[in-house]
């Protein structure tokens, strides 16, 4: 178990604080599995947080995974989620102020906005701290963060920051000054109790109001920024009231970096969870199931019920369609799922789904499905036939083999292979030969694999292979159900089924002709 240290740094992403996530490149498998699209969708609205590196860094041990799953479970509670979102909203405004400050010219204008930033920041921290006290938190991640936050909040430094900022704001806001505008001349003096003239004029002319006359008041738009006239006036106001402005000077100049790094890290890291949650909540509303997988780093027994391709589900959502869910399992010596069946039948989608589930699980996220038991893989290798690239026949085969060979060299018994329709453009003889060789090597490695192929014989190679077949409608083989089920390969190829439908198999023709 991870012990809670009393240091000031905690991370909501990792029990071992200080874990680095500066992965610059996505893992290779992401584009074949369409996870790059998914990550794009998830991180798109949150550009400012630079979340991709988190999604590019799978975890390597089950404790870290459990840590994240627990945090996610806490976050799925709407009240906590909304509080965190509130906090994030305020922080983003603080950042906006600070960005704006860089473009301002007048010193007291700048300092005024820095003060606003500090005020909002301290308010956000205070509110979050209070909110977390009332939330029933169970995850270690949140518990340690809450503990840290409390310490931060109650620290002398922070309390002073907050109280002094407020005091300064009040004292500045209580200032009132007079501006006399006479042609091009401006005089500034302290306010000394001059009465509101508008009210007096209004009262005098009240009796001339009968019936409804439209008001002449026009709406003044909110002005942003300060011009040279106002800047000058502000300067003079500072002269009129030197004390509060001097205090502002002193306060701000020593606190240009008032944002706590641990809090900033939290602000960013929590968005990893929130951005993913936003996506799956939408899908949950449409009835898709999600679950927290049980992960093992040692036991390769696998079981998934009602899994589905998350990227496809998100895409189809916009069109109002749903994606089909499938089950699969591996037990005992089983290692390779061999998937056969008609073209466009959902085999590739199924293969992607398996890859996605393992990857997302290794990020510590809830996965698409009703129930899942998965092995924690160390790496996912994918090879998807790319039909668009038409190199010469022989050149392509060589490239493919080189790639697969490289993958096998790098693989470990804890790796996962997703092979989709390889060797389709070579001769049948070669395909059979090569496939058998490759699968043997895979089985020796004891790696996990999903292999989509047209070669039925692979499916029944040994007790380590599992045959899965994409189903068609028994009444009409042209209709795909996209269900992939565990059963022996058909033997009957799709093409022949079609022929059968049109009564063009050999026997049928013989019968038909006289």
Partner 1 sequence: MMKVFLLYPDRNFDSKRTLPPFRETLVQDLGLETIFSAMAGGDKFIHEVAERVIFDSLRDPAEILYRQEILKDCLDHPESIQELYRIPLEFLDRKRKQWLWFSPRHSSPGLILSGARQLLETSLDLLRNLRKFAEVHGEAFRSRGFRRLFTMLRQELDDSYLATVETHVKALRFPNGVLLSARLGKGNEGTQYLLCKPHNPAGNWISRLFAAKSPVYSFSLHPRDESGARILQDLRDRGLAKVADSVAQAAEHIESFFQVLRWELAFYIGCMTLKDRLVQLKAPFAMPLPRPMEDCGLMEGYGPLKDRSPAEDGKLKEGRVLTARGLYDLSLALSLGEKTVGNDLDGDDKNLLVITGPNRGGKTTFLRSLGQAQLLMQAGMFVPAEAYKANLVTGLFTHFRRGEDRSMERGKFEEELQRMSQILEVIEPHSFVLMNESFSATNEREGSEVAHQVVTALLEEGVKVAFVTHFYEFARRIMEEEETHLSPCQPHSEHPGLPSSQSCHPLFLVAERLPDGRRTYRIKEGIPQKRSYGEDLYHKIFHPTVQRLTSV
| Region from 123-131, 206-214, 300-308, 382-390 binding partner 1, contact rule CB under 8 A | 206-214
* Position 74 contacts partner 1 (CB under 8 A): no
How many angstroms separate the Cα of 394 from the Cα of each of 315, 383, 404, 427?
A: 37, 18, 16, 11
* Cross-strand partners of 326: 307
Query: Site for partner 1 (CB under 8 A): which residue of 25, 78, 213, 476?
Result: 213
State residue 472 phi and psi, 5-degree precision.
Answer: -120, 170
22, 78, 102, 181: which one binds partner 1 (CB under 8 A) = 181
Q: Is 202 in the site for partner 1 (CB under 8 A)?
A: yes
Per-residue CA distances from 200 to 5, 204, 205, 394 (Å)? 66, 6, 9, 95
Whole-angstrom distance, CA of residue 5 vs CA of residue 143: 12
Residue placing its CB nearer to partner 1 in the complex, 170 or 463? 170
Binding to partner 1 by residue 476, rule CB under 8 A? Answer: no
Residue 181 or 409 with smaller CB distance to partner 1: 181
Q: Answer yes or no whether residue 239 interacts with partner 1 by CB under 8 A.
A: yes
Query: Which CB sits closer to partner 1, 6 or 215?
Result: 215
Number of other residues whose CB lies within 10 A of the CB of residue 461? 17
User: Is 108 near partner 1 (CB under 8 A)?
Assistant: yes
Could you tell me the smallest distance in angstroms from the CB atom of residue 127 to partner 1? 19
Separation of alpha carbons 82 and 72, rounded Å: 14
CA separation for the pair 178, 195 (Å, rounded) = 11
By CB under 8 A, tell whether 187 contacts partner 1: yes
Binding status of residue 102 toward partner 1 by CB under 8 A: no
Q: Which of 192, 388, 389, 476 lies at the binding interface for partner 1 (CB under 8 A)?
A: 192
Q: Shortest Cβ distance from residue 101 to partner 1 (Å)?
A: 9
Closer to partner 1 by Cβ: residue 217 or 513: 217
Token pair 């002319």 in the structure block, residue: 205
Among 1, 3, 218, 394, binds partner 1 (CB under 8 A): 218
Site string for partner 1, 110-129 (x = CB under 8 A): -xxx-xx-------------
Q: Which two tokens stand for residue 375?
A: 């092995």
Task: Please state, in angstroms and as integers, the Cα–Cα distance from residue 344 to each residue in 347, 427, 494, 497, following that order.
Answer: 7, 22, 11, 15
* Dihedral angle of Cα 8, 11, 12, 15, to the nearest 10 degrees: -110
98 vs 92, 114, 116, 224, CA distance in Å?
A: 10, 7, 9, 15
Task: Kindly list the residues in this chain that would bind partner 1 in the complex (CB under 8 A).
Answer: 108-109, 111-113, 115-116, 172-173, 175-192, 194-198, 200-202, 204-205, 207-210, 213-218, 220, 223, 226-230, 232-234, 236-237, 239-240
């Amino acid at each position: 178990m991870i012990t809670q240290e009393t240091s000031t740094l905690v991370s909501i992403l990792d029990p071992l604080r200080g874990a680095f996530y500066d992965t610059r490149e996505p893992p290779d498998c992401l584009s074949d599995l369409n996870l790059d699209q998914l990550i794009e969708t998830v991180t798109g609205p949150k550009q400012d947080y630079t979340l991709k590196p988190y999604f590019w860094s799978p975890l390597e041990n089950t404790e870290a995974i459990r840590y994240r799953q627990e945090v996610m479970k806490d976050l799925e509670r709407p009240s906590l989620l909304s509080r965190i979102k509130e906090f994030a909203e305020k922080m983003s405004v603080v950042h906006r102020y600070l960005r704006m400050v860089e473009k301002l010219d007048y010193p007291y204008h700048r300092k005024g906005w820095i003060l606003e930033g500090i005020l909002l920041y301290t308010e956000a921290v205070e509110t979050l701290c209070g909110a977390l006290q009332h939330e029933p938190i169970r995850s270690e991640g949140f518990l340690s963060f809450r503990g840290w936050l409390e310490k931060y909040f109650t620290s002398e430094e922070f309390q002073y920051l907050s109280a002094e900022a407020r005091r300064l704001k009040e004292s500045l806001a209580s200032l009132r000054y007079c501006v006399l505008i006479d042609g091009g001349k401006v005089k500034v003096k302290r306010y000394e109790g001059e009465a509101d003239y508008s009210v007096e004029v209004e009262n005098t002319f009240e009796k001339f109001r009968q019936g409804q006359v439209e008001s002449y008041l026009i709406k003044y738009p909110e002005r942003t920024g300060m011009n040279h006239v106002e800047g000058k006036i502000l300067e003079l106001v500072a002269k009129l009231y030197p004390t509060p402005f001097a205090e502002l000077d002193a306060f701000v100049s020593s606190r240009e970096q008032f944002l706590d790094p641990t809090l900033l890290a939290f602000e960013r890291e929590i968005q990893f969870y929130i951005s993913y949650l936003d996506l799956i909540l939408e899908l949950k509303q449409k009835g898709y199931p999600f679950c927290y997988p049980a992960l093992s780093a040692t036991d390769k027994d696998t079981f998934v019920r009602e899994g589905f391709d998350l990227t496809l589900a998100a895409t189809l959502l916009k069109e109002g369609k749903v994606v089909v869910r499938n089950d699969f399992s591996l037990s005992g010596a089983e290692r390779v799922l061999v998937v056969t069946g008609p073209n466009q039948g959902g085999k590739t989608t199924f293969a992607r789904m398996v890859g996605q589930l393992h990857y997302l699980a290794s990020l510590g996220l809830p996965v698409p499905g009703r129930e899942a038991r998965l092995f924690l893989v160390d790496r996912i290798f994918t090879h998807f036939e790319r039909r668009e690239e038409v190199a010469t026949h022989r050149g392509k085969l060589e490239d493919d083999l080189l790639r697969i060979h490289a993958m096998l060299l790098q693989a470990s018994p804890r790796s996962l292979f997703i092979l989709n329709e390889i060797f389709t453009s070579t001769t049948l003889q070669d395909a059979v030969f090569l496939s058998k060789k490759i699968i043997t090597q895979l089985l020796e490695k004891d790696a996990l694999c999903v292999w989509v192929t047209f070669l039925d014989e692979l499916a029944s190679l040994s007790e380590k292979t599992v045959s899965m077949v994409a189903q068609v409608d028994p009444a009409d083989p042209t209709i795909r159900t996209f269900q992939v089920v565990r059963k022996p390969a058909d033997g009957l190829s799709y093409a022949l089924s079609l022929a059968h439908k049109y009564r063009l198999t050999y026997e049928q023709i013989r019968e038909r002709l006289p």
